[in-house]
Amino acid sequence: MTVFISILDEVGGALLFLQKILRSLFYKKIKTHEVFEQIWKVTAESFFTTAMAGFFVGAIMTVQFALQMKEFGALGYLGGLATSGTFREVGPLLIAFMLSGKVGAFTSAELGTMRVTEQIDAVRCLGADPMQEIIAPRFLGIIISSFFLLGGGLIMSVFGGMLMGYAFAGVNFEEYLRHVPMIVSPVSILSGVIKCGAFALVLATICTFKGFTTAGGAKGVGRAVVATSVSTMICIVVVDWMTSFLGEVILQMVRGYRS
């Protein structure tokens, strides 16, 4: 029972924190310079990681789909299916996992260190709002740069899939790409982007919240980092399920409306 109460406590705290961030985003002047710095930092630091993950994910998807498609003799659809699967589902999910390992852990460690060395209190003493000065730029930076990273990762995943389709299934590049526009609809890409945005929102909220509420010295920072990565992973999977499910429901409603 106490476990449930403490979970509810955490969730409620995170939601209140999100409300505070949003309020400081909308009612106060955004520090544009800081935001750009954060975007640059996050993107530059994680680009190589996510691009590499994307490359291998594309290759793995292609190998798996090739094994299945071979049984039907429908290798022509290989490129379209692998690309669509990566764009809609696996790409955003894996990039969010990579981001939570790298950016999430780093941000919560940074904020946690600031908190335990009382730098956040110092900012408040100087008459500045820590939400506006420290939290909001990081929050915006993570969300905006996640889209850049998603784009890079997806492009690399198409490359990986093309190379693997050629090496493993003997599908040449043109044939691989021919069905891509047919199967990957704008809706697919949009759903991938929406998913990525939702993941980034969750990730940014949790890691700033955990970092901001760190207590208990250096050990507390370590605990905050581990708690961040575990809870972001759980929340990302749950959000993934919710977006897929809601997307399906909305699509069916739209279809019913049309017919």
Name which of 132 and 214 has its Cβ closer to other proteins.
214
Rounded least distance, CB 88 to other proteins, Å: 6
Instruction: Please name the amino acid found at residue 32.
Output: T
Report how far apart, in Å, the C-alpha atoms of 232 and of each of 17, 93, 116, 195, 214 are.
Answer: 15, 12, 22, 14, 16
Residue length of the chain:
259
Query: At a CB cut-off of 8 Å and minimum separation 6, what does 144 contact?
Result: 35, 39
Name which of 26 and 259 has its Cβ closer to other proteins.
259
Rounded least distance, CB 126 to other proteins, Å: 24
Instruction: Please name the amino acid found at residue 118.
Output: E
Name which of 97 and 176 has its Cβ closer to other proteins.
97
Rounded least distance, CB 195 to other proteins, Å: 10
Name which of 106 and 176 has its Cβ closer to other proteins.
106
Rounded least distance, CB 119 to other proteins, Å: 13
Listed residue (115, 104, 97, 102) closest to 221, CA to CA:
115
Contact call for residues 111 and 212 (beta carbons, < 8 A): yes
Rounded least distance, CB 15 to other proteins, Å: 20
Name which of 14 and 195 has its Cβ closer to other proteins.
195
First to last CA, the chain: 48
DSSP 58-78: HHHHHHHHHHHHHHHT-GGGH
The residue ranges that bind other proteins (CB under 8 A) are 49, 52-53, 56-57, 59-60, 63-64, 67-68, 74, 77, 80-81, 84-85, 88-89, 94, 97-98, 100-102, 105-106, 109, 113, 168, 183, 218, 221-222, 225-226, 229-230, 233-234, 237-238, 240-241, 244-245, 248
* 136-164 and 91-99 helices, crossing angle to 10°: 130
